[in-house]
Amino acid sequence: MITLTNVHKAFGPKRVLQGVDLTIDKGTSMVIIGGSGTGKSVMLKSVLGLVVPDSGSITVDGKDVAAGDRDAFLARFGMLFQGGALFDSLPVWQNVSFRLLRGALKRPREEAREIAIEKLRRVGLKPETADLFPSELSGGMQKRVGLARAIAAEPEIIFFDEPTTGLDPIMAGVINELIREIVTEMGATAMTITHDMSSVRAIADNIAMLHDGVIKWSGPVSKLDNSGDPYLDQFIHGRAEGPIEAVR
């Protein structure tokens, strides 16, 4: 279980998180929605320790994320970055099996390559892709490779940062389905940030809406369309009129 309690974070005068409280139950898929620049990525990176909150606490299974063995903590996570964040200098298979080629989870290179090819197949890519470099892939293929890398070491918790940004609707649908299938079959806890409503409906068990640095609404996906929350209604219907200012 991931718990954020009264988390604050400011960058200079800009107060991004102003008291975020959120709980993500084990084995569930939580999707965080909210407008651009509302601090969704900062919140996600705070859980991973990539951003250090100014105050508040973040725990995973009751343990403070800032305490203890950092490598062991991060070994429980997989992450798909918005732009893929694939390493340009490495071929696809070494990107996918990066964690398996070094550190505590190190395997022989042949075994790591086989696992990489299996994960590539799982995300719908042919084995021939393994020896290509990231610059030789399309945007959709890069996302899939990023997804394969995120699941390569069978993590307990997977984060997805804007998984469908920049993709055409069909490829976005493919990625959404893959994420849902993988999270379900691995039994992983998932946290996704997006403002793509088709992703929300495809991926989420639960939804939280971040606005003005706090969680404005949270609940199960089944209540998304009849929440009665004016902020959520405006956001999911994409209305210019409402409590959320269109010009920010």
Partner 1 sequence: MNAVLSPLAAIGAAVLGMLAALGRVALFAFDTVTHLFRPPFYGREFAAALVQIGWLSLPVVGLTALFTGGALALQIYSGGARFNAEEVVPSIVAIGMVRELGPVLGGLMVAARVTSSIAAEIGTMKVTEQIDALVTLSTNPMKYLTLPRVLAATLAVPVLVAVGDAIGIFGGYIIGVTRLGFNEAAYLKNTVDFLELWDVTSGLLKGAAFGFIVATMGCYYGMNSGRGAQGVGRATKTAVVAASVMILAANYLLTELFFTS
For partner 1, the binding residues (CB under 8 A) are 45, 48-50, 70-71, 74-75, 77-79, 81-83, 85-88, 98-99, 102-104, 149
In the complex with partner 1, which residue's Cβ is closer, 35 or 155? Answer: 155
- Which CB sits closer to partner 1, 78 or 213? 78
Closest distance of CB 154 from partner 1, Å = 14
Neighbours of 91 (CB within 10 A): 17
> Nearer to partner 1 by C-beta: 74 or 221?
74
Rounded least distance, CB 135 to partner 1, Å? 12
Which residues lie below 8 Å from residue 152, measured CB to CB, with a gap of 6+?
A: 78, 96, 97, 98, 99, 100, 115, 116, 119
CB of 122 to partner 1, least distance (A): 19
Q: How far is the CB of 145 from partner 1 (least distance, A)?
A: 12
Q: How far is the CB of 221 from partner 1 (least distance, A)?
A: 27
Structure tokens at 42: 């900062």
- Which CB atom, from 153 or from 236, has the smaller least distance to partner 1? 153
Nearer of residues 85 and 215 to partner 1, judged by Cβ: 85
The three-point CA angle 109-110-113 to 5° equals 85
Closest distance to partner 1 from the beta carbon of 85 (Å): 4
Dihedral-angle region of residue 150 (phi above 0 means left; psi in -120 to 50 means alpha; beta otherwise): alpha
Backbone φ, ψ for residue 15 (5° rounding)? -90, 105
What do you get for the CA distance between the two ends of the chain, in Å? 33
Beta bridge partners of 155: none
Q: Write the secondary structure of 69-125 as one string of H (helix), E (strand) and C (coil).
A: CHHHHHCCEEEECCCCCCCCCCCHHHHHCHHHCCHHHCCCHHHHHHHHHHHHHHCCC
**What's the CA gap between 131 and 128, in Å, rounded?**
6
68: three-class secondary structure by DSSP:
coil
Q: For partner 1, give the closer residue by CB, 9 or 216.
A: 9
Q: Residues 37-49, buried b or exposed e (16+ Cβ, 10 A)?
A: ebbbbbbbbbbee
Measured from the CB of residue 149, what is the shortest distance to partner 1 in angstroms? 8
Q: Which is nearer to partner 1, 65 or 232 (CB)?
A: 65
